Chains A and B, each alone.
Chain A
Amino acid sequence: MRKQLMKGNEAIVKSAILAGCRAFYGYPITPASEIAEAAALYMPQTGGVYVQAESEVASINMLYGAASAGVRAMTASSGPGISLMQEGISYMAGAELPCVIADIMRGGPGLGNIGAEQGDYHQVVKGGGHGNYRTIVLAPHSVQEMADLTSLAFDLADRYRNPVVVLADGFIGQMMEPVEFPQAATAPHLPPWAVAGTAASRRNLITSLELDFDRMEKLQLKLEAKYKAAAERETRAEEWQTADADIVLVGYGIMGRILKAVTTEARAAGLKVGVLRPITLYPFPEAALQRLAKTARLFAVVEMSNGQMVEDVKLALNGSRPVEFYSRVGGNVPSQAEVLKFVYELARREGLAKGAARPVAEEERMAHV
């Protein structure tokens, strides 16, 4: 199959349309704007709707409307915009509405900067809106996965009637890699619960309001059951050279790619290192971690955040193995060389390595721009 070179942000839109998405509501923000731009270009040509909303608050509520009407719909933003969407995400989870949200993470709290960071993990994976709900979160590490996981996101959103977030960082959104798409497009279908302005759907109701305490409790237990089912069926992770690994590196998105490069270099130097890359951040691949804990000596989590996913790794391992953490933030990326140095230090401490890692040139501890 012939592949073509494409940006991650563009691949998301093309994959979404092939997956039957016919509505995009969004608001521009670096580094996610190419998604809105591609949607503005392709949605009108493919029988879909594109509207640039007045705010991310409006975008997510437009998604609420489109989803209520039974249309596969998506939006895209970055941290500051996702913060504004949290109200609507909570409403959609409460009203059991499917949608796909792409979060192309940028740097820092507040206005921060436009460098790549992974600081949205908590607000996206733990649910930044109010109430008892979860979002299913998929974390691509390549342009091909931007396409594939977007398609999967629409299926999961429909299957569980719940918002699904494609959580990527600025690198995955902005970079170009070869990608291929399915040649058969999915036909839009009308779910039986939707309010579509037809005789058949007239008695349908979309709401997250339930005044009765018992019925509200029942609804929340139903949501919990859905999340449990998703955890059983949908959890995904990539394991790379973990079978005999003493040290298992854990990272998602672009970090997963860097950790593979670190592993190659470490293995060449005789260190038994492997990578566990969560593909679903919620549900989190707890079982895979627990299985690896039987063979690995220790786990090292590397993130472009101040330590957010590492909490889930610790919860999953529940003290059974040491969990170490390394990170760079602010738009900086832990480079291959500095992660390798970190891994060497751990290996020496554990008596697994004697020598030292190759020295890290200051230029290699690079800021991205």
Chain B
Amino acid sequence: MSNETVQDYVVAHGRAKSFYERFERKDELQHQTHFCPGCGHGTVHKMLARVIDELGIQDRTILVGPVGCGVFTYYYFDVGNISAAHGRAPAVATAVKRSRPGSIVIGYQGDGDLSAIGSAEILHAANRGEHVSLIFINNAVYSMTGGQAAPTTLLGQKTTTTPFGRSAANEGYPMHVCELLATLDAPVYIERVGLGDNRQAMQASRAIRRAIENQVNGLGFSLIEVLAPCPTIWKKTPVEAQRWVRDEMEKVYPLGVYCDRTKARMEAGLTQPAVAPTLDQLPGILGVAEADLPEGNAAALVADKPVDLQVRVAGFGGQGVLLLGEVLAEAGLDAGLDVSWLPSYGPEMRSGTSNCHVRLSRKPIDSPLVAAPNLLVAMNEPSLRKFDRAVRDGGWVIYDGDEFPADCVREGLHTFAAPFTRIADELGNKRAANMVMLGSLLEIASVLPEASVAAALHRMVKNPRWMELDERAIARGRELYRASLKEMVSA
């Protein structure tokens, strides 16, 4: 019927510029791909390369390849190539795009990769609205590994791991990725296309272009699912396989646009990235610029007096145990001492017990753990009974209570008990009991300059009302101890 020969056809589409001229990263047959005849990957590769050419983004493009038959994207695409672990391409693509916002990041995944092992990564990349474009090849099987079942395998479809056909009872139902992702608020564009015939292929090409264009335009997440033939695993001829996509797969996976927020996002406009600070601004931003740090009051420290405070502070959570220790450590640092503060830490719950280890020393501190304190601040009786026997001989216990429990008294143990919580309550708030106890501690230890304590308090307590109360509380704690000394002398 026709006299035309092959030579008479004009080659409308030559090799895309974004493909390597020769596939030198391939070991053999460098003039052709590794894909089987009739495979959907080759078709999609070609569509993708053409879009990269058309949009003029070859230099900017970074392809994040999968594990599976699509793993060798870097054999073919003359763009930046990163191969990800199985299923992790969306996580990898997330970070590439975030750090190189000027690049065009395209993830390429199969159905085992994306819908099974990588189901968490795709879901969350989509939900964060990452500014990446994802091509999702769905051929209803694991092809590279030899034809095992995928979440996308059709009911009744025989694979090497569903030898009797996929059953809903054993393997569940085919997973609808586009429909799932379309329930999220962030994605810009989600479409399912097919390679079942030429009309479908034309639409697939347009959809892929759209997904990449969205990224070029600075819009967010786009995903194109492509129903693709796999003649080899399906044990069909290329033509039969193509027909199976159209006749069988499409019934389970309807083609169409599942989400399109392109217009709304265009209208919303683009957010401008924040300008990064200069290097010399960084120490200031991080709060570690030396110029911003206080001078300290080391000069006010009594010279030659040995300092080796090994303090354990213990009480209930919420009593300000850790803050007491922190103010003490800050004051020690301000006075030029070596210090350490170590909290008991736990699930972030209130009303458990809490304690911390604090050391202040003229010499470098070896262990920050205080197993045998020379000063114990016990803010309740259980804390006293937990730690009192560990206090060194000659050490002190400061205890919140009317009287020090008689059975805890032992030779060589100095004790100072007072109703600190009640006293704090009289001062205005019982939560300042920790600072009243700190006042007594400072008076007993009598090493830290008052200026250092004041400086530490200013750094730690930002609320002026608390500041005022805490200052009074510390002063009251000092008085309490001094008064007890006078009582002892007069007695």
Residues of A within 8 A of B99 (CB): 22-23, 49, 65-66, 69-71, 73
**Interface stretch among A131-139, A173-181, A223-231, A314-322?**
A173-181
Q: Please tell me if the beta carbons of B91 and A258 are within 8 angstroms of each other in the complex.
A: no
Contacting chain A: which of B81-89, B134-142, B169-177, B440-448? B81-89
Kindly list chain B residues whose C-beta atoms are within 8 Å of the C-beta of A361. Answer: 372, 389-390
Q: Does B61 contact A (CB under 8 A)?
A: yes
A268 contacts B by Cβ under 8 Å: no
15 pairs, A vs B, C-beta closer than 8 Å: A5-B326, A5-B330, A23-B98, A49-B95, A58-B124, A64-B92, A65-B92, A69-B100, A176-B329, A195-B62, A196-B103, A206-B81, A207-B65, A254-B368, A361-B390
**Counting CB contacts under 8 A, is B333 at the interface?**
yes
- Residues of chain B from 215 to 261 with CB closer than 8 A to chain A in the complex: none
Q: Which residues of B (307-347) have their CB < 8 Å from a CB of A? A: 326, 329-330, 333, 338-347
Which residues of chain B come closer than 8 Å to A294, judged between CB atoms? none
In the complex, are the beta carbons of A64 and B80 less than 8 A apart?
no
Indicate if A165 sits at the interface (CB-CB under 8 A). no
Q: Which of A55, A87, A178, A337 contacts B372 (CB 8 A)?
A: A337
- Considering only residues 265-292 of chain B, those with a C-beta below 8 Å from chain A are 274-277, 279-280, 282-283, 285-290
Among A17, A73, A186, which residue has its beta carbon within 8 angstroms of that of B95? A73
Instruction: Say if the beta carbon of A25 comes within 8 Å of chain B.
Output: yes
Contacts A47-B276, A254-B369 known; A61 to B96 CB distance under 8 Å?
no
Asked if A350 is at the interface (CB within 8 A of a chain B CB), the reply is no
Q: Which of B21-76 contact A (CB under 8 A)?
A: 25, 27, 58-62, 64-65, 71, 74
Does B371 contact A364, Cβ atoms closer than 8 Å?
Answer: yes
B contact residues around A18 at 8 Å (CB): 282-283, 286, 288
A70 CA to B62 CA, complexed, in Å: 13
Decide: B82 and A68 in contact? CB cutoff 8 A: yes
Do B84 and A64 touch (CB < 8 A)? yes
A264–B275 Cα gap in the complex (Å)?
52
A57 CB → nearest B CB, Å: 7
User: Is B453 part of the binding interface, using a Cβ–Cβ cutoff of 8 Å?
Assistant: no
A185 within 8 A of B: yes
How long is the Cα–Cα vector from A290 to B379 in the complex, in angstroms? Answer: 50
B346 touches A114 (CB 8 A): yes
The answer on a CB contact under 8 Å between A369 and B341 is no
Nearest CB of A to B41, in Å:
17
In the complex, are the beta carbons of B290 and A2 less than 8 A apart? Answer: yes
Q: Is the CB of B124 within 8 A of A49?
A: no
Q: Are B342 and A171 in contact (CB under 8 A)?
A: yes
List of A residues within 8 angstroms of B280 by Cβ: 185
B79 with A61: CB separation less than 8 A: no
Give A211 to B336 CA distance when docked, in angstroms: 61
Listed stretches A119-127, A148-156, A197-205; interface member = A197-205
- Judge whether B92 and A337 touch: CB under 8 Å: no
Contact B95–A46 (Cβ < 8 Å): no
* B389 and A363 contact, CB distance less than 8 A: yes
The smallest C-beta distance from B123 to any residue of chain A, in angstroms, reads 8
- Cα–Cα, bound, A54→B346 (Å): 23
Instruction: Please give 15 more A-B residue pairs, beta carbons under 8 A apart, in addition to A1-B290, A5-B329, A207-B74.
Output: A65-B93, A174-B343, A175-B341, A175-B342, A181-B283, A185-B283, A197-B80, A199-B59, A205-B81, A205-B83, A206-B83, A254-B368, A261-B367, A335-B371, A369-B344
Measured CB to CB, the nearest residue on chain A to B355 is A369
In the assembled complex, how far is the CB of residue B82 from the closest CB belonging to chain A, in whole angstroms? 4
A206→B74 CA distance, assembly (Å): 9
- Residues of chain B within 8 A (CB-CB) of A91 are 85
State which of A14, A71, A178, A203 has its C-beta within 8 Å of the C-beta of B286: A14
Which B residue's beta carbon lies closest to that of A175? B342
Complex-state Cα separation, A305 to B84, whole angstroms: 35
Contact A206 B82 (CB under 8 A): yes
User: How many angstroms from the CA of A340 to the CA of B58 in the assembled complex?
Assistant: 67
B386 adjacent to chain A (CB < 8 Å): yes
Q: B293 at interface (Cβ–Cβ under 8 A)? A: yes
Please, how many angstroms separate the alpha-carbon atoms of A318 and B64 in the complex?
47
Given A14-B286, A257-B368, A366-B371, A44–B100 Cβ distance below 8 Å?
no
B→A interface (CB under 8 Å): 25, 27, 58-62, 64-65, 71, 74, 78-85, 88, 91-96, 98-100, 102-105, 120-121, 123-124, 128, 274-277, 279-280, 282-283, 285-290, 293-296, 326, 329-330, 333, 338-347, 353, 355, 365-369, 371-372, 386-387, 389-390
Residues of A within 8 A of B342 (CB): 171, 174-176
A46 and B368 contact, CB distance less than 8 A = no
Q: Is A53 an interface residue when CB atoms closer than 8 A count as contact?
A: yes
Neighbouring B residues of A95 by C-beta, 8 Å: 83
Q: Which residues of A contact B333 (CB under 8 A)?
A: 3-5, 178
CB distance from B283 to the nearest CB of A (A): 6
- Which of B94, B100, B341, B387 is A51 in contact with, Cβ under 8 Å? B94
CA distance A44 to B84 in the complex (A): 26
- Given the interface contacts A66-B99, A185-B282, A197-B60, does A364 sit within 8 Å of B372 by beta carbon? yes
Contact, CB under 8 Å: A195 / B80: yes
* Distance between B325 CB and nearest chain A CB, rounded to angstroms: 9
- Docked-complex contact A5 and B341, CB < 8 angstroms: yes
In Å, the complex CA distance between A183 and B285 comes to 12
Within the complex, the shortest CB–CB distance from B387 to chain A, in Å, comes to 6
Q: CA A197 – CA B96 in complex, angstroms?
A: 9
Residues of A with C-beta under 8 A to B58? 202
Task: Report if A368 contacts B (CB, 8 A).
Answer: yes
With contacts A196-B100, A204-B80 taken as known, whether A88 is within 8 angstroms of B88 at the C-beta atoms is yes
- A62 vs B105: C-alpha distance in the bound complex, in angstroms? 14
Question: Is the Cβ of B27 less than 8 Å from the Cβ of A212?
Answer: yes
Shortest beta-carbon distance, A195 to chain B, in Å? 4
Bound-complex Cα distance A202 to B20 (A): 12
Chain B residues with CB under 8 Å of A199's CB are 59
Is A248 an interface position by the 8 A CB rule? no
CB neighbours of A58 from chain B (8 A): 88, 91, 120-121, 124
Q: Which of chain A's residues 19-38 have a Cβ closer than 8 Å to chain B? A: 22-23, 25, 30-31
Q: Are A257 and B367 CB-contacts (below 8 A) given A71-B99, A174-B345, A206-B81?
A: yes
Among the interface residues A46, A69, A70, A197, which one has the most CB atoms of the partner chain B within 10 A?
A197
Q: Is the CB of B95 within 8 A of A69?
A: yes
Q: Give the residue among B88, B290, B353, B389 with the most A Cβ atoms within 10 A.
A: B88
Give the distance in Å from the alpha carbon of A73 to the alpha carbon of B286 in the complex.
18
Check A17–B345 contact: CB distance below 8 A: no
Q: Looking at the complex, which one of A1, A212, A335 makes contact with B369 (CB distance below 8 Å)?
A: A335
Inter-chain contact B85/A88, CB cutoff 8 Å: yes
Chain A residues lying within 8 Å of B282, measured Cβ to Cβ, are: 17-18, 46, 185
Near B by CB (< 8 A), chain A positions 279-331 give none
Chain A residues whose CB sits within 8 angstroms of the CB of B289 once the complex forms? 183
Q: Which 10 interchain pairs have the tightest Cβ spacing?
A: A197-B103, A47-B276, A65-B95, A363-B390, A65-B92, A61-B91, A195-B80, A61-B88, A260-B366, A54-B124
Q: In the complex, what residues of B have CB within 8 A of residue A53's CB?
A: 91, 124
Which residues does chain A contribute within 8 Å of B279, judged by CB atoms?
184-187
Flag if A336 contacts B371 (CB, 8 Å). Answer: yes
Decide yes or no whether A278 CB sits under 8 A from chain B. Answer: no
- Is A105 close to B, CB under 8 A? no
- Known A66-B99, A174-B345: A201·B369 in contact at CB below 8 Å: no
Q: B322 — nearest CB in chain A belongs to which residue?
A: A176
From B128, B340, B344, B366, A176 is in contact (CB under 8 Å) with B340
> Min CB distance, A46 to chain B, in Å?
6
A70 to B277, CA, bound (A): 20
Pick the residue among B277, B339, B389 that contacts A46 (CB under 8 A): B277
Given A363-B387, A366-B371, is A44 in contact with B59 using a C-beta cutoff of 8 Å?
Answer: no
Asked if A257 contacts B389 (CB within 8 A), the reply is no
Whose C-beta in chain B lies nearest to the C-beta of A177? B340
